[in-house]
Amino acid sequence: MDFGNGIYKAVTFSYDDGVTQDIRMIELMNQYGIKSTFNLNSELLGKNRMLPCKGHRISHYKVHPSDVREIYAGHEIAVHTLTHPRLTELDEQEIVRQVEEDRLRLSELAGYEVIGMAYPCGGVNNDDRVAEIIKKNTGVKYSRTITCSGSFEPQENLYRFDPTVCHLHFDEMMELAEKFIAMDARSPRIFYVWGHSYEMDLASDYWMRLEELFKLISGRKDIFYGTNREIFGF
């Protein structure tokens, strides 16, 4: 198995919450040929608030439902639940409702069937029980955790898929990117970065530092750049 044309290395990104900073993120990604999956809470779309984050108050304005298809064109729209609850604290019926109704609403907004997901909330936001409920009762085919592996190895359990690194860990992220670029892969390897685009507003140089990663990782003939859906082969 490869990612096409004998390419064994793939780069993908994943961003949560459907905030207006996604617009800037997508513009930057498109400039470098980077692809991402964006995980949205359909019941919260269009709502505005300021979010306390690491000692700052940051704009956490959600994109409007009518703009979803245009904003995320060329990338992937995926589930993040209706209202962003901690799924491990819910009963089975509510887990299914939060996930499947979000998936169906987002599918209508996107104009295609949404099949991906990222678990909402920090801390322990997923477990085997929740993953099995989602697998058996919804149309979701894969879901990302927030547990960074530091690894490029493929994973068998796509319902609890661990990303490589969070985009806020800049030094580690760049070190891993350089290691990934230098790797002579003979079997599939995935460099998977996750985060929230609003976090780039935490400091004046964060957007610039993320762009440094894009410059480093992009435009390489031995790397496939895809959404989560594309690298997982759906």
Contacts of 27 (CB under 8 A, 6+ apart): none
pLDDT tops 90 at residue 178 = yes
- The single-letter code of the amino acid at 124 is V
Tens digits of residue pLDDT in 152-169: 999 999 999 999 999 999
Model's pTM, two decimal places?
Answer: 0.97
Contact predicate 44/83, CB 8 Å: yes
Interval 213-225: pLDDT, tens: 999 999 999 999 9
State pLDDT tens for residues 188-200.
999 999 999 999 9
At residue 3, the pLDDT reads 95
Please list, in sequence order, all residues whose beta carbon lies within 8 angstroms of the beta carbon of residue 203, skipping any fewer than 6 positions away: none
The pLDDT tens digits of the residues spanning 125-162 come to 999 999 999 999 999 999 999 999 999 999 999 999 99
Which residues contact residue 29 at a Cβ distance below 8 angstroms, ignoring those fewer than 6 apart?
13, 35, 36, 75, 214
pLDDT at position 208: 98
Q: How confident is the model at residue 22 (pLDDT cuts 50, 70, 90)?
A: very high
pLDDT band at 52 (very low <50, low <70, confident <90, very high): confident
Query: pLDDT tens digit string along 60-98?
Result: 999 999 999 999 999 999 999 999 999 999 999 999 999
Q: Is the pLDDT of residue 54 over 90?
A: no
Domains in the chain, CATH or no CATH each: 9-231 (3.20.20.370)
121's tokens: 């909330």
Whether residue 1 is predicted with pLDDT greater than 80 in this model: the reply is no
Give the pLDDT score at 213. Answer: 98
